[in-house]
Structure 1
Amino acid sequence: MKDTLLEKAFYEKNPHIEENPKILLEIEEAINKPGLDSILLKGHVQSGKTSTYILLAARSMDKNYDGCITFTKNANDILNQTKSRFLSTFETVEDNLTVIDINENLEDLTKYELNQNIIIVAKKQTNDFEKINKLFDKYPFLQEKRFLVVDDESDWGSNGYNKSAEKEEDYFKKICKELLDLRKRLINSKYLSVTATPLSLFFANYWMIRPHAIFLLPPHKKYLGAEELFLSEEKTMRRICENFVEEKEFEAIVNADINNIDFCKELPQLTKAVFDFILGGLLLKQEKHYSMLIHIDTTRKGHAKQKETIKSLIAVLKQELNNGHPETVAKLYKSYDEITTALDYTKYSFEEVKSLAIQALEEQVKVTLMNSDSKKSVKLDSNGNIKNPVPFSIFIGAFAVDRGVTFNNMISFVFGRDSKIANMDSSLQQLRILGARPKEDLPVTRIYCTKKTLKKWKEFTRIDVEFNKNIELLLESNKLASKTDLSNQLNYLVPSTKMEGVRLCAPQKIDTSLKQFEAYSRLLPKGFLPNKDKQKLVMENTQLIEKYKLIYPVIEFEKDHYIEVPTEAAVKLLMNSYNAIYSDEVNLLNLLEQSLFFLKWLKKENGDKVLIYYKYNRNRKLIRKNGKYDDAPDSGKKGDYAYAKKIGIDHPVLMMLHQSGEQTDGIPFYWPVLMLPKNMPFNITGRTLN
């Protein structure tokens, strides 16, 4: 075993990083198992995922890995930021590493260099994949080595589908296929998927894309997250969020006639945002360089117009404050009063801060565009973050300022980008205000958006929090279902939303149809046959039902009855039922896994109670006259499902429908039908199981 040289270098560079030893060990155990499956590291937006995978790379290369290949979003800013973080982390041990720049000449690499630990950082771009493949073509022994392949922002570009493709080889889009082919080529390597928004990955049909294992990275102590920001009723958080802007003002920012506009009247919240930003930085005890991000329009033309408007606003505010314009001075005083109240201390008098604000507006504010036209105008600091060159840096952009970009000391976020349909993954990634934020900065931190936008952020956060809470239940359900004789692959269920104008992710990122589980939804096996070798389990279920009638409450209702049992009693019946059937046509494991998840989840949310409704000695045909499998053993106006809907208000109903075997060569079985209750805490989305 090698020493811990690279890990030591990491901690020398990052002495204050919070280590999560349990997560690190669990991921290391997963990546050390052979196979081409996908391991997912899910962290919150800007919660330290990059540092974590660099640490994992260091520890892996110290032990038994030969290198790390990291793929970033197809943006030079992100590529340079990630490269910078790797290089600065390992600068003290650079003689022990070979950092390969795929854009340079690869002809002169020596065997000595290639036998060291190798680091490659590339974009998810066709040209970069071609260059990496040329590297392995020229030095074929490299592909036998063990690389940790890190896919940063793995739900971006890594799962694209041509659903109308006629040929199988054309099904995956270019970048997705390039990445899959590279993974198959590096047979001894392991793939680590990293993102804060993996929803589209969960719904993938293809096993190499859908995560085989998932690890949730806990946020560090300094982290300001969406849950704290949007779901808390705490006064500071509401002060940050509730600075509402009318949609017409955002439209005016992009379409303003700067030579004929009263900024204070026509752009009141933008004016307030600029004043709050500058006064916030001036009034904080610690003097730093602060950043403000404006994300309104997606077009380069729109960005240029915003820059023109902001620069004109700054010039007008400076002039009006100098001239003592009453309305402008009053607006500045309002910001001063709100910020000093929030800080609970006064660093400067209003006259002093007015003078400093005029100086800042004149000398210390810089407006910078971040888009494809301005690649060289944005500089990075030694940590690979966006550098604030002046005390008050205002950045304007859209696609270039979301995924993976980190802004230092951000205390202002203006978001006015309106989408007819908002995708949860994109919306959360746009929240660059999240991340390591000093507590002392929070009283002056502000978000400016519409009420509709804040409502969507709250809904998406609610879903994300609920899913994170349910990961353990999903893993438990998978583990329990895998004890049956069925095959094993983790299946994901994600809380969904009833809100109009929002969805979990763009449809082109999903290669399967989705199923909504809501009030009265049923989960039942279809397309199966009874297993004659498992008749003991069928008899055991009958004995269990009779036992439950004696020890648990039996409720009479409408000339019938049901049993109220604890969840684990229902789980036992369900497990036996699925283990006594088999199918070559459907994935019974995922059906069982889904059913187990819902039982455990509803126990947590609605209480430890399941209603058992049972019938003995039915003679329903499994296969109909038309040759199709029956899929509604509980049908009929006055059938089992109709009865279950009457009793299943707050708790799930498990219908145990015993079939005598008369229609199945004398082999009896239980047909388990799980119905979800009327009062569901959330709707749930999952893949349609074929």
Structure 2
Amino acid sequence: MPDIPPLETNGAFYPAFTGPKDYPPEQKSCIEETVGKLISTATTSDQPGMLLGKIQSGKTKTFMGIIALAFDNGFDVCVVLTKGTKALAKQTFERLDQEFAEFVSDNLLLVYDIMSLPKLSRWEQGRKLVFVVKKQSDNLDRLHAALVTDYPELGRKRVLIVDDEADFASIGYSRSSRDGMQLRKIAKQINDLRTALSQPSFLQVTATPYSLYLQPDEIQIRTEVFKPVRPAFTKLVPVHPAYVGGDVYFPEEDSEDSRPADFIHVEVSEKEMTVLKKKDRRVFDPRTDALTSKAITSFRRAIVTFITGAAIRQIQSRHAGVRPANYSFLVHTEAAKGSHAWQEELVEELMSQLVAAAGVEAPELLELIDAACDDLGQSILLAGHHLPAKEAVRAEVLTALRDEYLLITKVNSDEQVMDLLDRSGQLRLRAPMNIFIGGQILDRGITIANLIGFFYGRNPKRFQQDTVLQHSRMYGFRPREDVAVTRFYTAATTYDAMRRMQESDNALRRALEAPGDQSVIFIQKASDGTVVPCSPNKILLSNVATVRPHKRLLPVGFQSGYKTRISAVILRIDSILAGHWQASSPEAPFTVPLAVALEVVELAYSALEFEEPGYSSNKDELIGALAYLSQNSQEPSERGLVWVIWRGEREVVRIRPSGRFTNAPDSQHREGKIAREVATHIPALLMLRQQGREEQGQGWRGTPFYWPVVLTPGDTKTAIFANEVRPDALEGDEGAED
């Protein structure tokens, strides 16, 4: 890559724009490096620059700084492409107009929505210009006419195109029943515009770059070959210390000790999700028993816990001498508007009964409040924050219900979102407690402030990585006190799918951050049981295991088999391990051939039962990773071997105090430490023999069993392992979500 030329950082725009807006040094460095690369690097239609941030992490603030610096360094026109909704276009226009208001007032810059563009005078054409353009055909046609036909002098100037939410409309292929594979019209219009301009530079801005990486290198479309958009360079948006994202909601590392994050996810049964998606008064009638029915146990808990959490935060704020904030809760279970109407009816009926119960301080309501206090109190104390007395919280909640602190809003159209947005582009929180009910309209770009509750119920069988992660409106800059009272309600299958997505997201980011080779290996289980490399576009990312250095792979959420069935299996494992044990001491690790390791893992799994909703055997991915990492060791002399750490007489409980299944049968400070020391080039297999007691709160079936744990080698190349590939690998997914 050519050297980056010196930049003008003291021009009319950049210092005046960033100075009053609290841009930290690392963010300004990102801005300056990005503009330098845009100037020195040919960003073509095949290879644009990419600004990669996390969801709701300050990408917009960063690219606005890039626009300001670009105007000081030879750029005259900026085009901001937004997601094709009126709400987001309006939000983007108003924010740009507001952020650059000083320069507009000084006649240095003009901001236009392309569909409201007036006839431009020569004087206006001489200003710095910003056009906001929805990624819709008519908008792009109007932009092309303005820059190429109506004002050709503008098209000859240096133009910066910023494609916000780049993955949304820039995927390079689609499938229709009539024409088969064809270029998406919007992507083609963007390509045509780049070609028609004399000096274009192109910057994609996204938090979910998977559509850019998980495509074949070339796609044949009739007689032409289309090369998917791949970045010429990638700059990562720095993450502010106050940012709360997937690492909090879906922590990669398991812990022997309880953490505040362990309490965030609350499991919702699939049966209850079905009740919430479609009205059926034969199954559940909210008019009669919304306050007590077992059909909506988790949903009722979610609403009461949200009100209780908001009440606690308001008490904490007064205790700290600061003004209490307004708080929000989001219900997003279905795309269908009929579901939203049903959920709105359900919430309103539930609230009506809660208000009535508050008027007489009904015992069933007080029990719900106390249960919410007990739940939230665990994470508040673990986080080290002030926990108000239960009596004070109860009084605050009763007041909130009696005095109508809570507002319910259904949002399922562009127009409704536009009416609800404030000048900063966030949904207005009109009351101390706000419940929003909506579908995909509340995803990309829409920020919901002070979100401390999220009830999410989309079907993981249809998940797309880009789409699902963008649904995570609970990400963003959140006070840690808010995180302690935050709860995320979803089915176990959905949570697991999102956790896997978070892991693959982190794997791709680590590869981008790493110097030198920035590749990620994609592997799959072949029909003969071996593990082989595969094309990344074949992988369904909601059903993968991400392999990285020193990652633990283990089964979770199982029950041991019955003694009569598994006793012989456990004795067989004992015999095999004893026959290969060659260690100098009982605690020392030893190596075994891969075939032996695979045999004892198969036997260990045969003694386990996976019947809990949302928890399934991950045997294929654990065995697949074990085999692949042993056979492909970077140290040839160790290929085909596995380290084994053998332990017995373990006393691990099945369910932790938080109510979640135990996921750390190995101690990080004992056998975990040993495993990390030896697993340099080949994986380590921890075979942990559990006592499996039924008594003493352990929750097993009163018979020993083995809990296998695999630790990947320290020099592992980041890989994403798929048990199965997509049957529609090259057919595209557009429209699958909604």
Does TM, normalized by the shorter one, top 0.5?
A: yes
Report whether the alignment pairs 1:146 with 2:162.
no
Report whether the alignment pairs 1:292 with 2:321.
no
Mark the CA change 1:164 to 1:454 in structure 2 (over 3 Å): closer, same or farther.
closer
Larger Rg: 1
Contact 2:520 2:718 in 1 (8 A): no
Match of 1:258 in 2: 286
Contact 1:321 1:328 in 2 (8 A): yes
Where structure 1 has 5 or more consecutive residues not aligned to the other structure, the ranges are 479-491, 499-509, 520-557, 559-600, 614-648, 652-675
Match of 1:438 in 2: 479
Mark the CA change 1:495 to 1:328 in structure 2 (over 3 Å): closer, same or farther.
farther
Contact 1:295 1:398 in 2 (8 A): yes
Contact 2:93 2:112 in 1 (8 A): no
Whole-angstrom CA distance in 2 between matches of 1:314 and 1:518: 41
Contact 2:308 2:372 in 1 (8 A): yes
Whole-angstrom CA distance in 2 between matches of 1:163 and 1:153: 21
Q: Could you tell me which of 635, 649, 654 is aligned with 1:609?
A: 635
Q: Could you tell me which of 116, 129, 138 is aligned with 1:118?
A: 129
Match of 1:77 in 2: 87
Contact 1:240 1:447 in 2 (8 A): no
Match of 1:246 in 2: 269
Mark the CA change 1:105 to 1:45 in structure 2 (over 3 Å): closer, same or farther.
closer
Q: Could you tell me which of 230, 247, 266 is aligned with 1:227?
A: 247
One-letter amino acid of the structure 2 residue matched with residue 72 of structure 1: T
SS at match of 1:412: strand
Mark the CA change 1:304 to 1:334 in structure 2 (over 3 Å): closer, same or farther.
same
Mark the CA change 1:247 to 1:464 in structure 2 (over 3 Å): closer, same or farther.
same
Match of 2:212 in 1: 201
Whole-angstrom CA distance in 2 between matches of 1:324 and 1:2: 63
Whole-angstrom CA distance in 1 between matches of 2:374 and 2:231: 51
Report whether the alignment pairs 1:357 with 2:369.
no
Tell me the alpha carbon deviations over residues 423-444 of structure 1, each in whole angstroms, 9 at most, x when there is no partner: 2222211111111111121111
Mark the CA change 1:606 to 1:216 in structure 2 (over 3 Å): closer, same or farther.
farther
SS at match of 1:156: helix
Contact 2:460 2:494 in 1 (8 A): no
Report whether the alignment pairs 1:34 with 2:32.
no
Measured after TM superposition, the shift of residue 166 of structure 1 is 10
Contact 1:413 1:448 in 2 (8 A): yes
Q: Which moved more, 1:388-397 or 1:210-219?
A: 210-219
Report whether the alignment pairs 1:211 with 2:219.
no
Tell me the alpha carbon deviations over residues 140-182 of structure 1, each in whole angstroms, 9 at most, x when there is no partner: 11111112111111111111424579999x8311111111111
Measured after TM superposition, the shift of residue 69 of structure 1 is 0.7
Whole-angstrom CA distance in 1 between matches of 2:414 and 2:449: 22
Match of 2:169 in 1: 157
Tell me the alpha carbon deviations over residues 218-245 of structure 1, each in whole angstroms, 9 at most, x when there is no partner: 3111111212331154744434433111
Match of 2:411 in 1: 370
SS at match of 1:425: helix
SS at match of 1:189: strand
Match of 1:6 in 2: 13
Listed as ranges, the matches of 1:580-599 within 5 Å are none
Measured after TM superposition, the shift of residue 200 of structure 1 is 1.3
One-letter amino acid of the structure 1 residue matched with residue 719 of structure 2: F
Match of 1:655 in 2: none
Match of 1:53 in 2: 63
SS at match of 1:454: helix
Matched residues, percent identical? 27
Match of 1:15 in 2: 22
Tell me the alpha carbon deviations over residues 1-22 of structure 1, each in whole angstroms, 9 at most, x when there is no partner: 6843322343255226564344
One-letter amino acid of the structure 2 residue matched with residue 303 of structure 1: H
Whole-angstrom CA distance in 1 between matches of 2:433 and 2:540: 48
Measured after TM superposition, the shift of residue 282 of structure 1 is 1.6
One-letter amino acid of the structure 1 residue matched with residue 68 of structure 2: A
Match of 1:103 in 2: 115
One-letter amino acid of the structure 2 residue matched with residue 53 of structure 1: F
Measured after TM superposition, the shift of residue 400 of structure 1 is 0.8
Contact 1:203 1:210 in 2 (8 A): no
Whole-angstrom CA distance in 2 between matches of 1:2 and 1:27: 13
One-letter amino acid of the structure 2 residue matched with residue 267 of structure 1: I
One-letter amino acid of the structure 2 residue matched with residue 353 of structure 1: V
Mark the CA change 1:424 to 1:10 in structure 2 (over 3 Å): closer, same or farther.
same
Whole-angstrom CA distance in 1 between matches of 2:15 and 2:146: 30
Match of 1:319 in 2: 356
SS at match of 1:260: helix
Match of 2:366 in 1: 329
Q: Which moved more, 1:320-329 or 1:112-121?
A: 320-329
Measured after TM superposition, the shift of residue 358 of structure 1 is 3.1
One-letter amino acid of the structure 2 residue matched with residue 337 of structure 1: D
Measured after TM superposition, the shift of residue 295 of structure 1 is 0.6
Whole-angstrom CA distance in 1 between matches of 2:635 and 2:488: 43
Whole-angstrom CA distance in 1 between matches of 2:457 and 2:176: 35
Mark the CA change 1:227 to 1:342 in structure 2 (over 3 Å): closer, same or farther.
closer
Contact 2:133 2:139 in 1 (8 A): yes
Match of 1:64 in 2: 74
Measured after TM superposition, the shift of residue 453 of structure 1 is 1.4
Match of 1:172 in 2: 183
TM-score (norm. length: structure 2): 0.64
Measured after TM superposition, the shift of residue 187 of structure 1 is 3.2
Whole-angstrom CA distance in 1 between matches of 2:408 and 2:540: 46
Mark the CA change 1:250 to 1:10 in structure 2 (over 3 Å): closer, same or farther.
farther
TM-score (norm. length: structure 1): 0.68
Mark the CA change 1:459 to 1:440 in structure 2 (over 3 Å): closer, same or farther.
same
Mark the CA change 1:213 to 1:343 in structure 2 (over 3 Å): closer, same or farther.
same
One-letter amino acid of the structure 1 residue matched with residue 357 of structure 2: E
Match of 2:143 in 1: 132
CA RMSD of aligned residues (A): 3.8
Contact 1:378 1:387 in 2 (8 A): no
Mark the CA change 1:171 to 1:377 in structure 2 (over 3 Å): closer, same or farther.
closer
Contact 1:293 1:413 in 2 (8 A): yes
Report whether the alignment pairs 1:468 with 2:509.
yes
Mark the CA change 1:276 to 1:12 in structure 2 (over 3 Å): closer, same or farther.
farther
Tell me the alpha carbon deviations over residues 609-646 of structure 1, each in whole angstroms, 9 at most, x when there is no partner: 35699xxxxxxxxxxxxxxxxxxxxxxxxxxxxxxxxx
One-letter amino acid of the structure 1 residue matched with residue 52 of structure 2: K
Contact 2:81 2:132 in 1 (8 A): yes
SS at match of 2:115: coil
Match of 1:532 in 2: none
Q: Which moved more, 1:321-330 or 1:372-381?
A: 372-381
Measured after TM superposition, the shift of residue 495 of structure 1 is 5.2
Match of 1:477 in 2: 517
Report whether the alignment pairs 1:278 with 2:304.
no
Q: Could you tell me which of 384, 402, 412 is aligned with 2:453?
A: 412
Measured after TM superposition, the shift of residue 106 of structure 1 is 2.5
Tell me the alpha carbon deviations over residues 242-266 of structure 1, each in whole angstroms, 9 at most, x when there is no partner: 3111122222223253323343333
Where structure 2 has 5 or more consecutive residues not aligned to the other structure, the ranges are 1-7, 219-225, 318-323, 526-534, 547-592, 594-627, 640-680, 684-712, 731-738
Match of 1:424 in 2: 465
Mark the CA change 1:417 to 1:131 in structure 2 (over 3 Å): closer, same or farther.
same
Task: Give the total of aligned pairs.
Answer: 522
